[in-house]
Amino acid sequence: MRTSIATVSLSGSLTGKLDAAARAGFDGVEIFENDLLACPLTPEDIRARCADLGLRIDLYQPMRDIEAVPEAEFARNLRRARHKFELMRRLGADTVLVCSSVSPQAVDDDALAAEQLSRLADLAAESGVRVAYEALAWGRHVSTYDHAWRIVETAGHPALGTCLDSFHILSRGSDPQGIADIPGEKIFFLQLADAPLLAMDVLQWSRHYRCFPGQGGFDVAGLVRQVLATGYDGPLSLEVFNDVFRQADAGPTAVDARRSLLVLQETVGRAPLPDPVVPTGVAFAELVTPDAEPLAALLGALGFTRTARHRGKPVALWEQGDARVLVNTGTAPRRDGTRLAAIGLESPDPAAAARRAEALLAPVLPRRRAPQDAPLDAVAAPDGTELFFCATGRPELPDWRADFENTGVPPAQAGIRGIDHLALTQPWHHFDEAALFHRGVLGLHAQESVDVADPYGLMRSRAVTSPDGSVRIALTVGAAPTDDTVHAQHIALATDDVVAAARRFREAGGSLLPVPANYFDDLAARFEFADGELETYRDFGILYDRDDHGVFRHCYTRTVGRVFFELVQRDGGYRGYGAANAPVRLAAQHTARALTGG
Ligand code: MG
Ligand code: MG
């Protein structure tokens, strides 16, 4: 199927938007009138630019407040339309979007609307233009797609059809089943947008919160299935008004947009993508740091041992149980501090996982980072984190550990089993993209987004997980792009006995994040504990949560650079991440930073 994107969905100048759309692989664009008005190029130049880029101009939009008005007003509207049709001829655009009227002059008279739209279509046909009539969810008299279709059907004009827009249909809770009543050839255009489920004024919802399909809460795929069943063969076109996308770079947004359409097409059975290869575990987490010492002390206190070193680079492998942490001192400029730079994902078929990622427009990284390295399939996530698809200890496939030489020290067994989850902080404009990336590219399941109160702003967090929980990644974004706390990342280590692990850590010289006594007083009010249990938690700063499935106990180390560790004990199938405790943890981290001046 052909794919298209409205220029209003992207940031920047019209020419920049066209370049970004073409580079992301779109077949066409909807030219938004304001973009054209602000562009120094002539319509002929824009047409030539699109042709050079291989982009078709699928739609010119919008034309507003046309129909069901007094005759004198309609005459003025036709005059306006004549100018626009001439402009479209110069542009080489053959379909115009007419939105249902919001004018106070418009009357509630379907017959008049049909008659005037028919006269508009007469004029359009003379210029070789088709009119696609769309019901705005906040239209004055026409606000549902079935109503718009009844008017188009009444008009019965070959140059008049309808435009369906998933936002307008689904935001009003209309049933898309009725789309089956519209002949496919009368659906002149299909615009797609998703949105988070919010209870708010529909106009504000539409103008500020639309997002790409798969990033919100609407069943966009269900609607697309209905439309395709009519025989509609026009493009799938994205029309997204979003405050974040308006500010973010057009290039990555266009890639995000097209990835959303690829995933959508796959969902409705129209995109032959390589099947997802769901990761089965975390092979390693790689920390990049300008100074290995603080991390070595922290890992040592946590019970890790340095089992191997890279043959060609300053990278050390620290192990305990199935938890593996790489400490890389080779690539971090000092100002960047310590950060989580790469994740190794255990993959049943690393090459197939990389093929899927590439088909979904993920940047593929060189298979060998250096000539002597073992070949490894890797891609970059939207936040720049490198994702390696690994086969650890499987003789038939290259093992990333082949590049390492043992130190002779065996992996420790000091109570840590493996990596429970990784928390990656996303740049503020990549949050929705990141969730879609991890879902579409890696085949992980995205959980509901939750808001977490930080003392200095609101954070949003969304976890993506494999079905069995062997891979859990918490994606987090803060309100303040420059706040260090929102840029903190962490590695959560799984233990069967968090108290013992915390005690061992402390005895080895580690210091845990102190948690205020008020938190434990509140815990005592909310839950019942055995004698002495709560005092132990208070002593170590162990936080506690419970859901329908089980119990979660967790505590935190101090932060090194942008990274800290969490010790977690998950019992009875607890599924969350202690989100209820996150505000306390964030406040405690702010306090600790203020005390240490770090
Ligand atoms: Mg629309
Ligand atoms: Mg955590």
- Span 194-206, pLDDT tens digits: 999 999 999 999 9
Residues near ion ligand 1 (Cβ under 5 Å)? 165, 191, 239
Tell me the ligand closest to 164's alpha carbon.
Answer: 1
Neighbours of 304 (CB within 10 A): 26
Q: Which CATH class is domain 281-596?
A: alpha beta
Q: Separation of 36 CA from ligand 2 center, angstroms?
A: 47
The b/e string for 269-296 (b: 16+ C-beta within 10 A; e otherwise) is: eeeeeeebbbbebbbbbbbbbeebeebb
C-alpha 296 – ligand 2 centre gap (Å): 21
Find the 97 Cα to ligand 1 centroid distance in Å: 8
Tell me the pLDDT of the chain averaged across its residues: 94
Mean pLDDT of 569-574: 96
Residue 597 has pLDDT above 90, yes or no: no
| pLDDT given for residue 370 in this prediction | 78
- Nearest ligand, CA of residue 134? 1
Compute the distance from residue 40 Cα to the ligand 1 centre, in Å: 26
Confidence of residue 487 (pLDDT cuts 50, 70, 90): low
If DSSP states are collapsed to H, E and C, what string results for 156-201?
A: CCCCEEEEEEHHHHHHCCCCHHHHHHCCHHHEEEEEECECCCCCCC
> Which bound ligand lies closest to the C-alpha atom of 210?
1
pLDDT over 60 (residue 272): yes
Q: What's the maximum distance between 2 C-alpha atoms anywhere in the chain?
A: 91
Residue 169 Cα to ligand 1 midpoint, Å, equals 10
- In the reported structure, the alpha carbon of residue 148 is separated from the centroid of ligand 2 by a whole-number distance in angstroms of 49
Q: What is the pLDDT of residue 45?
A: 98
Q: At what angle do helices 220-229 and 250-267 cross, to 10 degrees?
A: 60
**In the beta sheet, which residues pair with residue 203?**
none
How many residues are listed for the chain in this entry? 598
Higher pLDDT, 335 or 340: 340
The closest ligand to the CA of 9 turns out to be: 1
Q: Could you tell me the CA-to-CA distances from 251 to 344, 366, 479 in Å, in that order?
A: 27, 21, 23
Report the distance separating Cα 192 and Cα 237, nearest Å.
6
Question: Which ligand minimizes its atom distance to the CA of 474?
Answer: 2
Q: Assign 598 a pLDDT band (cuts: 50, 70, 90).
A: very low
pLDDT confidence of residue 244: 82
Give the end-to-end CA distance of the chain in Å, rounded to a whole number: 54
How far does the centroid of ligand 1 lie from the alpha carbon of residue 172, in Å?
14
Q: Is the pLDDT of residue 483 over 60?
A: no
Q: For 361-393, how does the pLDDT look when each residue is reduced to its tens digit (9 = 90+)?
A: 999 998 887 788 888 999 999 888 999 999 999
At residue 479, the pLDDT reads 64
Mean pLDDT, rounded, for 225-252: 93
Whether the Cβ atoms of residue 457 and residue 428 lie closer than 8 Å to each other: no
| Cα 162 to ligand 2 centroid, rounded to whole Å | 49
Distance 493 CA to ligand 1 centre (A): 47
Task: State residue 243's pLDDT score.
Answer: 86
The residue assigned the tokens 């008659």 is 115
What is the CA(189)–ligand 1 centre distance, in A?
9
pTM for this structure? 0.93
* pLDDT > 90 in the chain, percent: 85
Distance 415 CA to ligand 2 centre (A): 18
Compute the average pLDDT of residues 57-84. 97
- Residue boundaries of the structural domains of the chain: 3-267, 281-596
Of the listed ligands, the closest to the CA of 545 is 2
Ligand of minimum distance to the alpha carbon of 463: 2
pLDDT tens track for 398-435: 999 999 999 999 988 889 999 999 999 887 777 889 99
- Please, which residues bridge with residue 575 across strands? none
Q: Read off the pLDDT band of 454 (50, 70, 90).
A: confident
> 423 C-alpha vs ligand 2 centroid, how far in Å?
6
Distance 352 CA to ligand 1 centre (A): 37
How many angstroms does the Cα of residue 562 sit away from the middle of ligand 2?
14
Unique residue bearing structure tokens 């290039």 = 251
In angstroms, the CA 466 to CA 448 distance is: 15
3-class state of residue 345 by DSSP: strand
The CA 51 to ligand 1 mean position distance, Å, reads 24
Confidence at residue 102, expressed as pLDDT on a 0 to 100 scale: 97
In this predicted structure, the answer to whether residue 446 has a pLDDT above a threshold of 60 is yes
Q: What is the pLDDT of residues 108-161, one digit of tens each?
A: 999 999 999 999 999 999 999 999 999 999 999 999 999 999 999 999 999 999
pLDDT tens per residue across span 493-506? 999 999 999 999 99
For residues 322-328, give the mean pLDDT: 97
Q: Which two tokens stand for residue 508?
A: 């080895």
Is residue 533's pLDDT more than 70?
Answer: yes
Rounded to 5°, the CA angle 384-385-387 comes to: 125
**What are the C-alpha distances in Å from 471 to residues 172, 261, 419, 430?**
37, 25, 9, 21
CA distance 337 to 290: 6
Ligand 1 geometric centre to CA of 70 (Å): 25
pLDDT recorded at residue 240: 96
Residue 564 near residue 490, CB atoms below 8 Å: yes
Ligand closest in space to the Cα of 564: 2
Measured in angstroms, how far is the CA atom of residue 551 from the centroid of ligand 2? Answer: 14
Q: Which long-range contacts (CB under 8 A, 24 or more apart) does 245-250 make?
A: 245/9, 245/10, 245/11, 245/429, 246/11, 247/11, 247/429, 248/11, 248/429, 248/430, 249/11, 250/10, 250/11, 250/12, 250/16, 250/17, 250/19, 250/20
What would the two tokens of residue 253 be? 């947004």
pLDDT digit string (tens) for 180-237? 999 999 999 999 999 999 999 999 999 999 999 999 999 999 999 999 999 999 999 9
List of residues 6+ apart from 146 with CB closer than 8 A = 174, 178, 181
Q: Which fold has domain 3-267?
A: TIM Barrel (3.20.20)
Quick check: 540 pLDDT over 60?
A: yes
Q: Are 438 and 446 in contact (CB under 8 A)?
A: yes
543 alpha carbon – ligand 2 mean position (Å): 11
Q: How far is the CA of 134 from the centre of ligand 1 (A)?
A: 7
